Structure 1
Amino acid sequence: MTRIDLPLAEAVAAPIPAAPSPPPPPPKGPAFGLRLATGLIGVLLAVLLAGFNEHTTEMALADIKGQLHIGHDEGTWIIALFEAFNISAMAFAPWCSVTFSIRRLTIVMTGMVGVLGLAAPFMPNLGALLILRTLQGFACGCLPPMLMTVALRFLPPNIKVYGLGAYALTATFGPNLGVPLAGFWFEYVGWQFLFWQIVPLCVISMICVAWGLPQDPLRLERFRQFDWRGLLTGLPAICSLVIALEQGDRLDWFRSPLITHLFCGGGFLFILFIINEWFHPLPFFRIQLLKQRNVSDSLLTLAAVLVLCVVTIEIPSVYLEEVRGYRPIQTAPIALILAVPQLVALPLVSALCNIRKVDCRIVLMAGLAIQGASYWLGTWIDSDWVRENFYIVQLMQVVSQPMMVISILMLATMGLGPADGPFISGMFNMTKGFANAIAAGVIAALLRRREQYHSTMLLDIYGYNQNALDGMGDPTSTLLAPHIADPDRLTWNTQVLLHGKVAEQSLVLACADIYYVMIGLCAAFIVLNLVLPQRVYPPRAPSVSTPAK
């Protein structure tokens, strides 16, 4: 008989211990349904009305200045201060949303926007209006980060890409609707409605958010680690840089001591802000996210795409206003043909990018290529163009803009965890705000410089041609007048005609130059996105496997 060792026998006879129970799953948020969808719509409406308030008053600034008897230089501060605090709020709002809850912050800031908009036409002087617009800019800036945070947190994985498409409306649909709204309110209703248009939308948004979004608890203990150094360096840095960008072209950039001090001081404080955010235990920005190739590529490409979007609406508006004498209401179809189809194009592109076999990097590069092709058509611009000549350019961008924006959003967010949502939202929205400010400053500077260059060259050509004609004894000139080279022989009407024609042609050539620059920008970012980002896939709900019997 085989002898069995006692320890081995006891081990065989002992019962097998039960496997340890898995840890409890993390608490889930509310199930997605009608109530939560209503809350998301309320946040989307709040973000859109913030964009309407910004872009409508910007487009109708000349009319507002006329009604309030404000000069040009003073009126520019209405936009500059609004933009400065609008972009600053985007940087700090995600921290506040975690501390006070998304629901509370959205309702309070939306209500603040509505109340200030209601009071805006009754301001007694320019100083009061500037203070009001500063506060309203801060409140408006708190709203866009909420939409991305809500979409990343509450939407089920299978439809999360559609939530990103809804956020893309704020970059494509909202800004382009500002022009027709500005023209409609001023021409047919009353200039006060440039400020009052948002009031009913604020009420609807607050009701939807209050009923639809869940209420998170207050987390006031976060103030124990509040990033005071980040606030004291970041807020003045962002405000200084944005004001410098907004006022730079008017004050001739670095020839102005104010612009020089704003750029140098703001840049120094911004570097300190970035260093502080890197080491702070509870920062406003998680700068370490920039180590991820997709995040850094997305922020760079987003800045470029928003510059392209500003050019898309700015160049036709400037041309039609300066060359054709159009009012905002007459340029409205240019913006509407770009804005309204986005309501269809964005869901379609979202559905395309939600297919697992589709690489969103290819969609992004295709969008950049289509955008560049539309600008190539824009380089054909001449002084005979009217509103209808821009339609084909705008229609091509109806396709390209959603392809670019949704792909960028996917690259930026699909590789991140839920805890990174507030951080990427703040970085994304502040980049968006800075890009708009940079676009406004750079395009204004390019238009002015290229217009001055072409004006000088055209006058030189006129003088050269006239001297040649005089030398040949030819009494006629095919350009403007038979005596352009001799100012003393020019009649007043001829001088006016010469000035008008040169100014018109200079602006047309400057617009064409900017289109060429944008083609180069599209090509550069196609090359960048060939090498930098890594592929991401649309999210999917985890499959539930049945236990083996």
Structure 2
Amino acid sequence: MTQELTTVEQLKTTGAQVEPEIPRRNWIALFGGLLGAFMAILDIQITNSSLKDIQGALSATMDESSWISTSYLVAEMIAIPLSGWLSVAIGKRRYLTWTTIIFAMASVLCSISWNMGSMIVFRAIQGFSGGALIPLAFSLVVQLLPLNKRAVGMALFGVTATFAPSIGPTLGGWLTENFSWHYIFYINIPPAIALICMVNYGLDDEPLKLDSLLKADWFGITTMAIGLGCLEVVLEEGNREEWFSSSFIVTLSIISAISLIYFVINELQHKNPLVNLRLLKQSQFAMSCVAYLILGMALLGSIYVLPMYMIQIQGYNALEIGEVLMWMGFPQLLIFPLVPKLTQIIKAKYLVFFGFSMFGISCFVNTHMSYDFGGDQLIFSMLLRAIGSPFIMVPLSLVAMEEIQKHQVSDASTITNVLRNLGGAFSIAIIATLLDNKTREHLGHIKETLTAVSTDGWYQLQQSAAMFVSKGSDPATAMLQAKASLTMTMQRDAAIMAYNDVFLMMTCFLAFAAFMMFFVKSNSNPGSMEGGAH
């Protein structure tokens, strides 16, 4: 014992730092929390490749099937801000256990849904329980790991936040093609059981704080739930309802605006707010939040638009889409382990700048697509995204949390996760609207350039008609078929131009984020984890 004390005293005298040993229980609990976040984020996108199969099985329309994703996202958006308050009132271990049980039960119920109404209800329950798993995983990184290991924990969280949406459509497509759409829900059961065992082993039980439940910011909870819920529905359904020409969208927009205004006023004045919006007064955290919003736009926007392009233009099935998108996911697993080491030698803000730049370049590569631009040609841009994404999530967390105290981490995590999800919702709404409007605009331009006296146009029409005649059509029918074929070609080319415009828009947003993060006033030096989440 004397020798050990002497050694410690010598280390203190020489200025050497004794790295605290992390208990195995902490790592097990952390991996359990990360597994939960991975499941919750994965389930946002995993149904996208299987919507047609689910739609057919439940005898639903395309508009009705869109609510499979919308109901999940609305409920998840409401759950995220509640997670910090509930985890304190109930205790993290108890909260994680029960939300995971509910998530698993809702997954099973989704698989046995008898109509679209039941599916929407069960997906909402699944989204509400899954929404708690995402910010809790981030909180566990700060709670269970010392400063010198926090970059490693954030890298692991980054894998869940960027790899899960990338691999979701791939996994969903593979399960649907090889088994059935039911398995995209069954797959949640084994990790849910593992999560419950891991957090119950790794986390200490905390006493119930019923006073926190009774003295909760109920006005803030109500206005937040109504405001974010209505906003999410507006963003998800706005384009299908033709935006503000629909009384449904106008009504929800007004309710959302009023609720969120009252929510912000209440949170700034309340002594114990549901979400501490005062953190946004810190310029570095506020700029990081804008970056999180753009990150959500880029991540979920690209996962939304790429499958649409491959289905509409290339005619790919779910499995073929997954085989392309996996190039955006799997290479990240090789890069993420390098990021914590790089944060020790390069300022975090410069790594974020590099990540956004690579993501922006990958989108710019897709601004010059043509009909010949298929799966093989998309792989290069997928790889650029895979390189850029890991350099955003982990260093951006370090920049955002640099001035945040440990007791504020839960609120900061809630704000960044909500903004990332909102970014995705904004992006999908903008993309859907832009595709419709730009396709019509480009089609009009194509028709203007292809005049009735165009020699090349008539030659192509005659060639096409001759082909249909050779297949057995009479001359009059063949000419009608040729005109229909030409119209389809023009519509296809107009759609491709619209997709190019979408990727140009995403490039501009990512370039802005990269520029902003390059000039953010970060005080941390490479190799220093101090300042964040004390």
TM-score, with length taken from structure 1: 0.87
Whichever residue aligns with residue 469 of structure 1, its letter is: T
* Shift, 1:276, TM fit: 0.4
Distance 1:133 1:315 in 2: 22
CA contact (8 A) 2:152 2:340 kept: yes
1:142 alignment partner, SS class: helix
Distance 1:475 1:111 in 2: 65
Which one of 227, 231, 234 corresponds to residue 241 of structure 1? 231
Whichever residue aligns with residue 157 of structure 1, its letter is: L
Which one of 239, 257, 263 corresponds to residue 253 of structure 2? 263
**1:22 counterpart residue number:** none
Distance 2:37 2:502 in 1: 30
Distance 1:127 1:541 in 2: 50
Aligned residue pair count: 502
Distance 1:96 1:404 in 2: 29
Question: What do residues 370-393 of structure 1 show as CA deviations (whole Å, max 9, x unaligned)?
Answer: 222222221221101221101111
**2:207 counterpart residue number:** 217
Distance 1:96 1:82 in 2: 20
**1:175 counterpart residue number:** 165
**2:484 counterpart residue number:** 496
Q: CA RMSD in A?
A: 2.2
TM-score, with length taken from structure 2: 0.89
**1:6 counterpart residue number:** none
Which one of 35, 42, 56 corresponds to residue 45 of structure 1? 35
**2:378 counterpart residue number:** 390
* Closer/same/farther in 2, CA of residues 320 and 211 from structure 1, 3 Å limit: same
Whichever residue aligns with residue 173 of structure 2, its letter is: G
| 1:307 aligns to 2:275 (yes or no) | no
Which one of 179, 189, 198 corresponds to residue 208 of structure 1? 198
Whichever residue aligns with residue 318 of structure 1, its letter is: M
Instruction: Name which of structure 1's ranges 324-333 and 208-217 shifts more when overlaid on structure 2.
Output: 208-217
Q: Counterparts in 2 of 1:9-408, with a 5 A limit? A: 32-353=22-343, 355=344, 357-408=345-396
* Shift, 1:260, TM fit: 1.1
Distance 2:367 2:419 in 1: 29
2:254 alignment partner, SS class: helix
Distance 1:184 1:489 in 2: 41
Question: What do residues 17-40 of structure 1 show as CA deviations (whole Å, max 9, x unaligned)?
Answer: xxxxxxxxxxxxx96221111111
CA contact (8 A) 1:82 1:137 kept: yes
* Closer/same/farther in 2, CA of residues 480 and 86 from structure 1, 3 Å limit: farther
1:298 alignment partner, SS class: helix
Distance 1:541 1:377 in 2: 38
Distance 1:157 1:307 in 2: 30
Instruction: Name which of structure 1's ranges 291-300 and 123-132 shifts more when overlaid on structure 2.
Output: 123-132
* Shift, 1:237, TM fit: 0.6
| 1:445 aligns to 2:433 (yes or no) | yes
**1:417 counterpart residue number:** 405
* Shift, 1:540, TM fit: 4.9
Distance 1:337 1:497 in 2: 34
Which one of 449, 455, 460 corresponds to residue 469 of structure 1? 455
Whichever residue aligns with residue 332 of structure 2, its letter is: Q
Instruction: Name which of structure 1's ranges 106-115 and 521-530 shifts more when overlaid on structure 2.
Output: 521-530
**1:510 counterpart residue number:** 498
Whichever residue aligns with residue 397 of structure 1, its letter is: R
* Closer/same/farther in 2, CA of residues 476 and 341 from structure 1, 3 Å limit: closer
**1:433 counterpart residue number:** 421
Distance 2:271 2:356 in 1: 38
* Closer/same/farther in 2, CA of residues 52 and 371 from structure 1, 3 Å limit: closer
CA contact (8 A) 1:451 1:510 kept: yes
**1:3 counterpart residue number:** none
Whichever residue aligns with residue 346 of structure 2, its letter is: V
Pair member with larger Rg: 1
Distance 1:495 1:247 in 2: 34
* Closer/same/farther in 2, CA of residues 509 and 261 from structure 1, 3 Å limit: same
Distance 1:377 1:432 in 2: 24
* Shift, 1:216, TM fit: 2.2
**2:4 counterpart residue number:** none
Stretches of 4+ moved more than 4 A in 1?
Answer: 477-483, 537-542
CA contact (8 A) 1:414 1:539 kept: no
* Closer/same/farther in 2, CA of residues 146 and 31 from structure 1, 3 Å limit: farther
Distance 2:72 2:245 in 1: 24
* Closer/same/farther in 2, CA of residues 480 and 115 from structure 1, 3 Å limit: farther
Structure 2 alignment gaps of length 5 or more: 1-19, 467-475
* Shift, 1:480, TM fit: 7.7
1:177 alignment partner, SS class: helix
**1:4 counterpart residue number:** none
Structure 1 alignment gaps of length 5 or more: 1-29, 543-549
Distance 2:211 2:492 in 1: 61
Question: What do residues 426-484 of structure 1 show as CA deviations (whole Å, max 9, x unaligned)?
Answer: 1111112211111111111111111111111112222x2x42539xxx9635898699x
Which one of 516, 523, 527 corresponds to residue 515 of structure 2? 527
Distance 2:293 2:25 in 1: 35
CA contact (8 A) 1:164 1:406 kept: yes
CA contact (8 A) 2:461 2:479 kept: no
* Closer/same/farther in 2, CA of residues 69 and 277 from structure 1, 3 Å limit: same
Whichever residue aligns with residue 459 of structure 2, its letter is: T
* Closer/same/farther in 2, CA of residues 127 and 373 from structure 1, 3 Å limit: closer
Instruction: Name which of structure 1's ranges 249-258 and 521-530 shifts more when overlaid on structure 2.
Output: 521-530
Whichever residue aligns with residue 382 of structure 2, its letter is: Q
Distance 1:467 1:502 in 2: 17
Distance 1:422 1:490 in 2: 67
Distance 1:231 1:478 in 2: 62
Distance 2:88 2:238 in 1: 36
